[in-house]
Structure 1
Amino acid sequence: MKLSTAFLLAQATSHLATALNEPSANQIQRRRYAKSSKSKGGKDPEPPAPEPEDPSPYFKRASNFFICSQQGASCGSDDATSAEIVAATPDGMTLIYTDASRGGVGRVDISDVNNPLGTGFFDVGGEPTSVDIHGDYAVVVVNTSDDYVNTSGELHVFSIADWKLLKTFQLGGQPDSVAWSADGKYVVVAIENERDEDLGDGGLPQMPPGFVVVFDTMNAAPAMWTQRNVGVTGLPGVLYPEDPEPEFVSINSQNMAVVTLQENNAVVLIDLATKAVAGSFSTGQVALTNVDIEEEGVITQVHPLTRLREPDGVVWADDFHFITANEGDMDGGSRGFTVFHKDGTVVYESNSELEYITASIGHYPEERSENKGNEPENVAVGMLDGKPVAFIVSERSSVIFVYDISDVTSPVFLQVLPCGQGPEGAKYISSRGLLVAAAEVDDRDIGARGVISIYDIATSEKPVYPYIIAPGIGWGASSGLSFGSNTKTLYTIEDSFYGKSRIFRMNAEGHPLVIEEAIRIMDTEGVLEAAAPGFFVNADKTVNLDPEGVTLDSKGMLWVASEGNGSAGDGSAPNVLVQVNMMGVIQKAVLLPPEIAAKKLKWGLEGVAFLDDGSDDGLLVACLQRAWKDEVHPMVLAWSITDNDWVGYFRYPLDKVESPNGGWIGLSDVSVHAGMIYILERDNMGGPDARVKKVYKVDPKTLSWNGEVATKELVYDLLPILKTVSQGLTPEKVEGMAVTSNGMYINNDNDGVDDYNGATYVSFIPLIL
């Protein structure tokens, strides 16, 4: 049986309350995809070998263009940049994007999709909100308003050949989006005159009302264009008809424009030839089932939720149907997308599907559960292998969902694509078969830089992304990594971003890796509470550790390294090693030696690994992330499972900081293979600022474990491969490593999709070790 990535992800949508339901106090959450079970003795089951699949065309991310590179190739500036809406020249070789942070538009040469180059930035005298291109011209709409009452805006027309400003039109209000008809005859601008969210309760109505501007271009020079306002107040189906707030616009081949009125939960259709409203209707509400509506640190997709759609982005799928991205803004947000017939009939509703998919690939934003979940922002259409497809842009999950819309009444999920953080706009470039997406979040302090992602098409058995899937299991923030009893099985854990700690067992055969089991850690026997009273155990006996490392010992027991917090003497959570059986029940809890714990600072236990030292039960090797009080180097400690006591420690010499943004360097994981100790060392920088992501080894035969400074030997510099798999969006927190005879696996912590784009990369690096 062939198990495609799309099939496995589709399984996530069928694992509703049964699969993601929160266990009761005396239950362990153990979800399996494969029909396998633990054999006696704690050995991992042998995963079935996957059958090869027939190659198919998929989109893949070819590159990311960093908006900050327009200010210098190294992206060394702290100044915020952004990319919201992007358009392409007819030949598909040049992109134009809006950058509201800098008050202008940028130009990018993408003739080589693997190496996009910035070719200029142009001030537009205000806040650019949208751009579109047709033929020889680009139109940019700019908000020049003084405030929410005294609104104004402009439409600039540029020559794309030399980027000269040819004409400026006054719009009479604050523009939000612009679209050019396919035949070049019309330019349509949605004038939102947006509400002041800080005025009163932030609700509607607020004056002045918005409207729509239609330009007759006649395919002529801009000096010949004429403009006409189309009023959209007083329409049926609109919640606040006196304040419509037009948001986004799309035009079909019959020159019918559809305009979303987001806060009003409505759309309006405008016949561009007559400049008359052809209809309007409410977009209604969606009764969702099995979604997460609580931000309690656990992904619990079990709740009902009814919400207005409040669509933002919209695009025509054909001349009769359009698709809305139901982001929500004021009172709604239904977390999915809808296909409407132009008469207002809903012909397809995605319901909770996007929520399930994001949870199964580690991109569910738990910290947005009480708001709008994954938050579909925009939508575009294009082609893949001769089939029409829709691209649904998720702002909070930072992904794009690709759907086959050959039958527009029954879209079929195909794949998901990673983006920069906070994608806003997407554009399919038909002349080259490319997709581009603009992501607006740019904050160097958190390692997020605004990018335009460029996707081309490749033929492969499976899509490149995601690297991990978990049908029916919501997950994220994976940290340490370790092999099971065979190299076909990997274990990872979720860190303290989530409030009820779990260990994940993954099938490591093939791509992507599949999480087949989630083991909820439980303190049903009171072991952890006795060792560290009042810190970790929840009322239902689940635990709220900060798991950072995991390993399997010779007896088939799992050990988890939990990082403490705070400093010694301040009453903060201690660092602890926890032994867990295969049912998730804690068997032992080991605190650090008092003389070492007395030096505690933050940056505590990170990785743990099993070392066979010839004794009955062997040793555990555990590393601290950074140097503690009065120390120059971080410590790597050894605990004897046989003697139930600490053996000692050595000090590990760190590399020097190399990042132009400063920061620090620390340890992230430890692994043991063939008697050698492997250490994962990284800086706390991501993206263009990342410099140190390396694996070193230490020979334990040279150690006395009496606090000496070890000698380390470089095994592998991870930075090149991390840049390659992420197309330059190098993850900061490379926190997992598992070493075997023919290479190593590495993975990164995605921080629970909080202040990060959510991508998790797992790479196997073939080496002879």
Structure 2
Amino acid sequence: MFRLLSYTSVLALIAASASAADMNFNRISSFATPLNMAAGEDQDRETSSEIIAVSDDGMRLVYTDSPLGVVGLIDISDPAAPKPLGNVDMGGEPTSAAVIGNTAFVAVNTSEDYVAVGGKLLTVDIDTKAVTAECDLGGQPDSIAKAKDGSFLVVAIENERDEDLNDGVLPQMPAGQVAMIDIKNGAADCGSLRFTDVTGLADIGADDPEPEFVDINGLGETVVTLQENNHMVVLDRQGKVVSHFSAGAVTLENVDLIDERGALNFTETQADRKREPDAVKWIDDDHFATANEGDYEGGSRGWTIFRKDGTVVYDSGMSLEYAIVEAGHYPDKRSDAKGAEPESIEVGIFNGTPYVFVGAERASVVAVYDVSDLANPVLTQLLPSGIAPEGLVAIPSRNLLVTANEADLIEDGGVRSHVMVYEQQQAPAAYPQITSQGADSLIGWGALSGLAADPESNGKLYAINDSFYGYQPRIFTIDATQAPARITAALDITRAGYPAQKLDIEGVTLDGKGGFWLASEGRTDRLIPHALYNVNAKGVIKQEIELPAELLAQEIRFGFEGIARDGDVLWMPVQRSWKDDAKGEVKLVAYNTESKEWGAVRYALDAPAAKGWVGLSDIEIHDGYAYIIERDNQIGDKAAIKKIYRVAMDQMVPAALGGDLPLVEKEEVRDLLPDLKALNGFVVDKVEGLAIDANGKAYVVTDNDGVDDSSGETLFFSFDSNASASN
């Protein structure tokens, strides 16, 4: 049974950034898979990097791309600047790949349906991109692994179930099996193909095993996960069963189990949760590690180290998920399923230290564990990955780790699938930049959408979450004097003793009386009003101020994005143009808390660089200027406008609504694109929060959308606003 220990993950992660002399993995480059498409090919086609392998010299990557039906090749001779080497058509759906020397062996699914199954194994020369051999596998393959000496391959023939048939209940024939094939003269020897029957072993669906993942140790032994069957099998070099055992189950306490609740409450219990491991990798010749994704009835939200006789040496319990929570990567909409969903796993010895790397598909992070003591692994880092890390490959000879991230959001105008490269360096961990680790209790957070600075204490900030957490609106206290910045407390915003509903908080500022003013952007189509709220130091809403009729009459969905206070006057930028605004202009709206008067000025937006829109995201008043975030809604290489401008406060003289409004002049303070590229990932969309403390230090935070169709990365960085404005 695994219980909440508030400092278990905290102490482990603190060790990662204790000293600049520490060895840490940091991302050094990202490669978007559409770069491998040929000139003239439809760039809007879905593409995906899934399982990834590396050439023996560590210079080229091979990844499977199921939507395109290809394997993609990448040159990483300079790992900080990957180069496309193009795609190779597989004539089916590639599911996995292994590389021996400069030859790739690719398992390809050619099944017509779940019953008429088929597959093939292709031998591909990655120098010439020629297919040099093809073997019929007789079923639908999943994972492939190579022997350490390159003498043979093992393929998991899954023959997966149809989840829509009979609610996906096992058995569903044909049953899966394990294939072995020898390598002869650099190619797969089809004549040596043989199969191992693994039926009758598992307690669940014994006559319908579904082999998922395979790996081979130095003794030539193969470990096989039967994911849906919750079972493990170890085979010898000839395919004989050495051992087999149930992967077992765990009982987890203090789990967040309700999906789409819009709140992070780790209070429930999950009893007898089957592990149902997906990926598996040998750590040494006697131990292997599994990523316990679950797929059928299980998913224990963690990972496990087994001895090959079935002994559980270590299980992470809830500790990995808690570390993910503290880093702001917890996927709330997956709470009732498998939470962060560990799916991929890799091992490697870097500079004498053995590591296990665990990819969490739904949290989009890779956990790095020092496994020098197999019974007590130490979590040293959480690495930001692309969306949905599916494949990992360690390259210790070059101090590199690579992730393949399968999600491609082209249909939603989002970021594309990426391959990301990390290097072990003698340097501090660059990520996370903000975390709740070290707080007195577990604090879940995400979708940070506005910042404010405490005028009495430099580096003390406040942030709010947006409507993604509609049932748990909160004000977070941040200590930005540490690296990473620390969320130290969370204050619930309440009404009548309950978490306040129908809020879309996008801005926060102090009211000078111990409480806060909040700006709610609003969504009238969802019955969420545009409004201002005054809350006291306990988070209780004491005053709600509706927008005046003159303003609401011009409303077009996108409302206030940010709030700042200048004496008795509150200033709120409207994100985008409303009905009465000239094209390319928005209002900066003023409300006098004493006189109750409303007014506004006009603000001219930059024109979008391409498609999409440009709007405002936050405002801060400091030393005679209003500082404003202006951004487009583009992501990745399409992002062009992520900037901070300022307007002199002597121009911020509001005129009455409904009449002629003065147009203010803006001065560019900082282009944020270099800051957003500093971690060598893709440029994120939502720069949402800005605060400036009394010393003129500016802080910026991005909104990670609650990790929903997002990588979950939250960037938090600072700069000297006065120095930047003078450049």
Q: Does TM, scored on the shorter chain, surpass 0.5?
A: yes
Counterpart Cα distance in 2 of 1:223 and 1:312: 26
Distance 1:369 1:75, change over 3 A: farther
2:614 maps to amino acid:
I
**Alignment of 1:193 onto 2:159:** yes
Q: For residue 269 of structure 1, what is the aligned residue in structure 2?
A: 234
Distance 1:52 1:128, change over 3 A: closer
**Alignment of 1:640 onto 2:595:** no
TM-superposed deviation, 1:742: 4.4
TM-superposed deviation, 1:573: 2.3
| CA deviation string 1:545-569 (max 9, x = no partner) | 11111112333431111111136xx
* Aligned-partner SS, 1:247: strand
From 494, 503, 511, the counterpart of 2:465: 494
Counterpart Cα distance in 2 of 1:54 and 1:65: 28
TM-superposed deviation, 1:101: 0.9
TM-superposed deviation, 1:584: 1.2
Does structure 1 conserve the Cα–Cα contact (< 8 Å) formed by 2:181 and 2:188? Answer: no
* Aligned-partner SS, 1:473: coil
Counterpart Cα distance in 2 of 1:12 and 1:302: 17
Q: Percent identity?
A: 44
| CA deviation string 1:663-719 (max 9, x = no partner) | 111110011111101111111111122111111111221243122222212111111
Q: For residue 658 of structure 2, what is the aligned residue in structure 1?
A: none
Counterpart Cα distance in 2 of 1:84 and 1:669: 37
* Aligned-partner SS, 1:359: helix
Counterpart Cα distance in 1 of 2:256 and 2:499: 22
Counterpart Cα distance in 1 of 2:472 and 2:344: 33
Greater shift in the superposed pair: 88-97 or 159-168: 159-168
* Aligned-partner SS, 2:397: coil
**Alignment of 1:564 onto 2:564:** no
1:248 maps to amino acid:
F
Counterpart Cα distance in 2 of 1:310 and 1:236: 15
Does structure 1 conserve the Cα–Cα contact (< 8 Å) formed by 2:181 and 2:189? Answer: no
Q: For residue 166 of structure 1, what is the aligned residue in structure 2?
A: 132
Counterparts of 1:296-311 in structure 2 under 5 Å? 296-306=261-271, 307-311=273-277
Q: For residue 424 of structure 2, what is the aligned residue in structure 1?
A: 457
* Aligned-partner SS, 2:212: coil
Q: For residue 453 of structure 2, what is the aligned residue in structure 1?
A: 483
Counterpart Cα distance in 2 of 1:366 and 1:221: 47
**Alignment of 1:96 onto 2:62:** yes
Q: For residue 691 of structure 2, what is the aligned residue in structure 1?
A: 738
Q: For residue 447 of structure 1, what is the aligned residue in structure 2?
A: 414
Q: For residue 759 of structure 1, what is the aligned residue in structure 2?
A: 713
| CA deviation string 1:163-204 (max 9, x = no partner) | 322111111001001000111111001100111111122111
* Aligned-partner SS, 2:372: coil
* Aligned-partner SS, 1:606: coil
Counterparts of 1:462-477 in structure 2 under 5 Å? 462-471=428-437, 472-477=442-447
Distance 1:106 1:674, change over 3 A: same
| CA deviation string 1:84-120 (max 9, x = no partner) | 0111111111101110010001110111111111111
TM-superposed deviation, 1:78: 1.9
TM-superposed deviation, 1:638: 1.3
From 561, 577, 581, the counterpart of 2:532: 577
Q: For residue 215 of structure 1, what is the aligned residue in structure 2?
A: 181
Does structure 2 conserve the Cα–Cα contact (< 8 Å) formed by 1:12 and 1:360? Answer: no
Does structure 2 conserve the Cα–Cα contact (< 8 Å) formed by 1:398 and 1:418? Answer: yes
Counterpart Cα distance in 1 of 2:477 and 2:421: 33
Distance 1:211 1:317, change over 3 A: same
TM-superposed deviation, 1:764: 1.2
TM-superposed deviation, 1:136: 3.3
| CA deviation string 1:308-354 (max 9, x = no partner) | 11110000111111111100001111110011110011111111112
TM-superposed deviation, 1:544: 4.4
From 91, 96, 99, the counterpart of 1:125: 91
Distance 1:145 1:624, change over 3 A: same
**Alignment of 1:729 onto 2:682:** yes
Does structure 2 conserve the Cα–Cα contact (< 8 Å) formed by 1:211 and 1:229? Answer: no
Counterpart Cα distance in 1 of 2:126 and 2:494: 63
Distance 1:160 1:72, change over 3 A: closer
Kindly indicate whether structure 1 or structure 2 has the higher relative contact order, using CA contacts under 8 Å at least 6 residues apart. Answer: 1
TM-superposed deviation, 1:512: 0.3
Does structure 1 conserve the Cα–Cα contact (< 8 Å) formed by 2:492 and 2:499? Answer: no
Counterpart Cα distance in 1 of 2:491 and 2:84: 48
Greater shift in the superposed pair: 695-704 or 354-363: 695-704
TM-superposed deviation, 1:73: 9.4
Does structure 2 conserve the Cα–Cα contact (< 8 Å) formed by 1:579 and 1:589? Answer: yes
* Aligned-partner SS, 1:701: helix
Counterpart Cα distance in 2 of 1:149 and 1:553: 66
2:716 maps to amino acid:
V
1:523 maps to amino acid:
R
2:159 maps to amino acid:
N
Counterparts of 1:511-660 in structure 2 under 5 Å? 511-524=483-496, 540=498, 542-566=500-524, 572-612=527-567, 618-632=568-582, 633-643=585-595, 645-659=596-610
Counterpart Cα distance in 2 of 1:766 and 1:173: 61
Q: For residue 401 of structure 2, what is the aligned residue in structure 1?
A: 435
TM-superposed deviation, 1:52: 7.1
Counterpart Cα distance in 2 of 1:151 and 1:599: 59
Distance 1:10 1:104, change over 3 A: farther
Distance 1:541 1:505, change over 3 A: closer
From 685, 694, 699, the counterpart of 2:634: 685
TM-superposed deviation, 1:63: 0.9
TM-superposed deviation, 1:275: 2.3
* Aligned-partner SS, 2:421: strand
Counterpart Cα distance in 2 of 1:278 and 1:702: 80
1:755 maps to amino acid:
D
Distance 1:566 1:544, change over 3 A: closer
* Aligned-partner SS, 1:69: helix
* Aligned-partner SS, 1:354: helix
**Alignment of 1:232 onto 2:197:** yes
1:276 maps to amino acid:
K
* Aligned-partner SS, 2:321: helix
Counterpart Cα distance in 1 of 2:675 and 2:193: 54
Does structure 1 conserve the Cα–Cα contact (< 8 Å) formed by 2:346 and 2:392? Answer: yes
Distance 1:14 1:434, change over 3 A: closer
Distance 1:685 1:762, change over 3 A: same
Q: For residue 643 of structure 2, what is the aligned residue in structure 1?
A: 694
1:227 maps to amino acid:
S
Does structure 1 conserve the Cα–Cα contact (< 8 Å) formed by 2:521 and 2:530? Answer: yes
Aligned residues: CA RMSD = 2.1
Counterpart Cα distance in 2 of 1:52 and 1:455: 20
Does structure 2 conserve the Cα–Cα contact (< 8 Å) formed by 1:57 and 1:384? Answer: no
Aligned length: 698
Unaligned runs of 5+ in 1: 1-8, 16-33, 35-50, 525-538, 613-617
Greater shift in the superposed pair: 243-252 or 160-169: 160-169
Q: For residue 395 of structure 1, what is the aligned residue in structure 2?
A: 361
* Aligned-partner SS, 1:457: strand
Q: For residue 43 of structure 2, what is the aligned residue in structure 1?
A: 77
Unaligned runs of 5+ in 2: 656-660
TM-superposed deviation, 1:495: 0.6
Q: For residue 360 of structure 1, what is the aligned residue in structure 2?
A: 326
1:487 maps to amino acid:
N
